[in-house]
């Protein structure tokens, strides 16, 4: 962000109307001077999402999402700052500045990657036509319909079929000007000596798209039982990186935001069956284990993840790995259980859409419950030693992973099932829990940075008004400095004040939009946005003085209470000299409080 000239970003904001951009994702209606709609970042029935055309900012009073048009596109599309600036610059017909050239592909790279994407798009259309409109696709069509996939779903996922011929796709694309080497490099063809042949033959074709919905790769499912491998994916290419691409993310991300939960499946058909059953927030990794990059991509859209892997032993082992990885990235996880030997697709086909969706409602475990269940499967509960070992495993899990409520529930279950006193379990847990203290400390530190929604006392409202004045009215800068306002009631208010002072010193007349975009801390950005899009206020020195008086009075009263307590303590201690000193300080504080309570003060 620092490498992009501020002047360019400012010009870009002036060229782009936030109402036009947000309106492509949210149905907005005018309400006074703002526009309101249902928030695209969380699920709600009553609109709490507000967009201000005057401020060119948005804010959700339900979930706290907020910012400028650049932040909106970054969050809704999961893009970087540079990528967003480039996209909006193209929309506004603004030439991209030189400082962005190193952050985006060169013209030659862009042309080559564009050609690769065009080849994939044509390949998807070609495969789809073969499946739906030719005799060559009859067997594949029957296979998909036999798996319960409707033609509507086939069209939504752009499913196709690659005929069992060596050069059908290559001939199709070469007639349209695509070079042999490009087709090999982008994974659609394979070089066999001097010749090239189609990579995919005799397979049901599943297009894999990037976050924008552009086809960048394929997964091919063999129709012949003897064919190896059963699933064949495109290789790593300049367009496709398995460790960071998630199947169906481009269609699922809206539902993920609305439900605030992403569902991770093992395979394509699981995702497709779930979509057809009505569960629209499912994604899958590309024939590989879930990676850190995958988890970070999902975190752009939600902090909650539901794991819906196969019910067999391999699926359960993979689930354990996902839970541990997600925990490192601070994702809240749940696990959906399927009967042994069944995958989600099998379950949906055998029991139907209603039962499939209900499985996510009634068969969902917390990560602690999942690990306890896994421990129970291997425990020897017939022997006293086996029972003791099992209980210690559960207590260890509770100490490391469980919330206080979940810990209490599981301890009650253990005590009842194994006829052990609750006191004994508590004592054992305290001993075992030492290993998890560092993790709990890290969790507490992380949670302490989350912006809470405090009770808006008079002092908090006064602090917010001062911040709003400084944000919206540059003249408030001199007034606040003159009156030495350096601290506000809440830590996040004080932090935002420091950022605003630094901003006003460098950009005396800088716009609120420019300031909000400069904030890297998401919690401070939410607070600043809520103030910017709130009820507009004029610069009012008298009201600022009232706010300052309220804050100073609170500070004095706090000091008075503390000093009074100290006076009581030294009086009881019989320290006559300190009693005289403290008594004088208490009287001085009383006088100051009286002055601040007097309107003329």
Q: Which residue has the higher pLDDT, 572 or 355?
A: 355
Q: Is 484 left (phi over 0), alpha (psi -120 to 50) or beta?
A: left
* 219 vs 199: CA distance, rounded Å: 11
* 115 vs 351: CA distance, rounded Å: 44
* 355 vs 280: CA distance, rounded Å: 16
* 508 vs 530: CA distance, rounded Å: 22
Q: Which CATH architecture has domain 458-539?
A: Orthogonal Bundle (1.10)
3-class SS string, 477-504: HHHHHHCCCCCCCCHHHHHHHHHHHHHH
Of the ranges 141-145, 174-178, 472-476, which one carries the lowest mean pLDDT score? 472-476
Give 78-83's long-range contacts (Cβ < 8 A, gap of 24+): 78/211, 78/253, 78/297, 78/300, 78/301, 79/211, 81/1, 81/4, 82/1, 82/4
Lookup: tokens for 198: 């189609």
- The model's pLDDT over 530-551, given as tens digits with 9 standing for 90+, comes to 888 876 667 888 888 888 888 8
pLDDT value at 97 more than 80? no
* 504 vs 477: CA distance, rounded Å: 7
CB 35, CB 50: distance < 8 Å: yes
Q: What percent of the chain has pLDDT over 70?
A: 92
Select the highest-mean-pLDDT range: 297-311, 350-364, 417-431. 350-364
pLDDT value at 498 more than 80? yes
**pLDDT confidence of residue 100:** 60
Closest CA to 63 of 396, 453, 373: 453
**pLDDT confidence of residue 43:** 73
Lookup: tokens for 188: 């659609």
pLDDT value at 587 more than 90? no
**pLDDT confidence of residue 110:** 54
Name the fold adopted by 6-103: DNA Primase; Chain A (3.90.580)
CB 234, CB 199: distance < 8 Å: yes
Q: Which CATH architecture has domain 246-371?
A: 3-Layer(aba) Sandwich (3.40)
Domain boundaries, the chain: 6-103, 107-233, 246-371, 379-439, 458-539, 547-597
Q: Which residue has the higher pLDDT, 293 or 135?
A: 135
Considering the chain, what is the average pLDDT of its residues? 85
* 540 vs 289: CA distance, rounded Å: 59
**pLDDT confidence of residue 571:** 84
**pLDDT confidence of residue 215:** 95
**pLDDT confidence of residue 1:** 40
- The model's pLDDT over 112-125, given as tens digits with 9 standing for 90+, comes to 888 999 999 999 99
* 469 vs 467: CA distance, rounded Å: 5
Lookup: tokens for 371: 């690990």
- The model's pLDDT over 426-451, given as tens digits with 9 standing for 90+, comes to 888 888 766 555 555 544 444 444 33
pLDDT value at 599 more than 60? no
Three-class DSSP category at 231: strand
Q: Enumerate the β-bridge partners of residue 161.
A: 204
- The model's pLDDT over 295-340, given as tens digits with 9 standing for 90+, comes to 888 887 788 999 999 888 888 889 999 999 888 888 889 999 888 7
Whether the bond into 282 is cis, omega within 30 of 0 = no
**What are the φ and ψ backbone dihedral angles of 48, each rounded to 5 degrees?**
-125, 10
pLDDT value at 105 more than 70? no
Q: What is the pTM of this model?
A: 0.61
**pLDDT confidence of residue 200:** 95
Closest CA to 31 of 17, 50, 46, 18: 50
**pLDDT confidence of residue 541:** 85
- The model's pLDDT over 220-277, given as tens digits with 9 standing for 90+, comes to 999 887 878 888 999 999 889 888 899 999 999 889 888 889 999 999 999 999 999 9
CATH class of the domain defined by 107-233: alpha beta
The residue assigned the tokens 């609170």 is: 554
CB 465, CB 479: distance < 8 Å: no
pLDDT bin (cut points 50, 70, 90) of residue 2 is: very low
308: Cβ contacts below 8 Å, ≥ 6 apart: 263, 264, 265, 270, 274, 282, 335, 336, 338, 344, 360
pLDDT value at 107 more than 70? no
**pLDDT confidence of residue 589:** 79
316: Cβ contacts below 8 Å, ≥ 6 apart: 309, 374
Three-class DSSP category at 301: coil
């Amino acid at each position: 962000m620092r490498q992009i000239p501020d002047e360019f970003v400012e010009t870009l904001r002036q060229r782009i109307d936030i109402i036009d951009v947000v309106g492509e994702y949210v149905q907005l209606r005018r309400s006074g001077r703002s526009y309101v709609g249902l928030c695209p970042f969380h699920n709600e029935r009553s609109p709490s999402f507000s967009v201000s055309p005057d401020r060119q900012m948005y804010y959700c009073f339900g979930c706290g999402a907020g910012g400028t048009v650049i932040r909106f596109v970054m969050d809704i599309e999961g893009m970087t700052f540079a990528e967003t600036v480039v996209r909006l610059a193209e929309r506004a017909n603004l030439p991209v500045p030189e400082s962005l050239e190193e952050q985006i592909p060169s013209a030659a790279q862009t042309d080559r990657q564009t050609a690769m994407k065009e080849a994939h798009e044509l390949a998807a259309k070609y495969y789809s036509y073969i499946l739906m409109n030719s005799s060559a696709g009859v067997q594949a069509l029957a296979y998909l319909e036999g798996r319960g996939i409707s033609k509507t779903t086939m069209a939504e996922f752009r499913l196709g079929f690659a005929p069992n011929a060596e050069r059908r796709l290559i001939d199709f694309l070469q007639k349209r000007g695509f070079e042999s080497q490009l087709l090999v490099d982008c994974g659609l063809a394979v070089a066999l000596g001097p010749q090239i042949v189609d990579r995919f033959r005799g397979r049901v074709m599943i297009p894999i798209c990037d976050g924008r919905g552009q086809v960048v790769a394929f997964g091919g499912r063999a129709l012949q039982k003897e064919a190896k491998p059963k699933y064949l994916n495109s290789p790593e290419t300049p367009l496709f990186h398995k460790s960071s691409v998630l199947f169906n993310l481009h269609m699922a991300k809206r539902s993920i935001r609305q439900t605030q939960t992403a569902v991770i499946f093992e395979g394509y058909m699981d995702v497709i069956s779930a979509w057809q059953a009505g569960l629209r927030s499912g994604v899958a990794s590309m024939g590989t284990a879930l990676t850190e990059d995958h988890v970070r991509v999902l975190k752009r859209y939600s902090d909650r993840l539901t794991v819906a892997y196969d019910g067999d032993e391999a699926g359960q082992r993979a689930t354990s790995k996902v839970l541990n990885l997600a925990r490192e990235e601070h994702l809240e996880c749940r696990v959906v259980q399927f009967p042994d030997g069944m995958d989600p697709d099998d379950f949906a086909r055998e029991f139907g859409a209603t039962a499939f969706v209900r499985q996510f409602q009634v068969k969902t475990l917390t990560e602690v419950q999942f690990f306890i269940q896994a421990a129970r499967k291997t425990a020897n509960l017939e022997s006293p030693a086996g029972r003791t070992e099992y209980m210690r495993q559960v207590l260890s899990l509770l100490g490391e992973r469980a919330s206080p409520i979940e810990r209490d529930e599981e301890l009650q279950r253990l005590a009842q099932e194994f006829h052990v006193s609750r006191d004994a379990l508590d004592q054992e847990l305290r001993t075992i829990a030492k290993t998890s203290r560092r993790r709990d400390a890290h969790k507490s530190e992380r949670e302490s940075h989350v912006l809470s929604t405090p009770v808006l006392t008079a002092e908090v409202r006064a602090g917010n008004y001062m911040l709003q004045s400084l944000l919206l009215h540059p003249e408030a800068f001199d007034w606040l400095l003159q009156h030495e306002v350096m601290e506000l009631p809440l830590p996040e208010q004080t932090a935002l004040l420091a950022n605003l002072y630094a901003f006003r010193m460098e950009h005396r007349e800088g716009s609120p939009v420019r300031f909000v975009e400069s904030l890297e801390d998401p919690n401070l950005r939410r607070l600043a946005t809520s103030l910017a899009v709130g009820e507009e206020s004029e610069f009012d020195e008298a009201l600022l003085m009232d706010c300052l008086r309220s804050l100073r009075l609170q500070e004095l009263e706090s000091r008075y209470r503390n000093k009074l307590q100290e006076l009581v303590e030294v009086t009881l201690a019989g320290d006559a000299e300190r009693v005289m000193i403290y008594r004088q300080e208490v009287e001085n504080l009383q006088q100051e409080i009286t002055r601040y309570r007097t309107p003329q003060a």
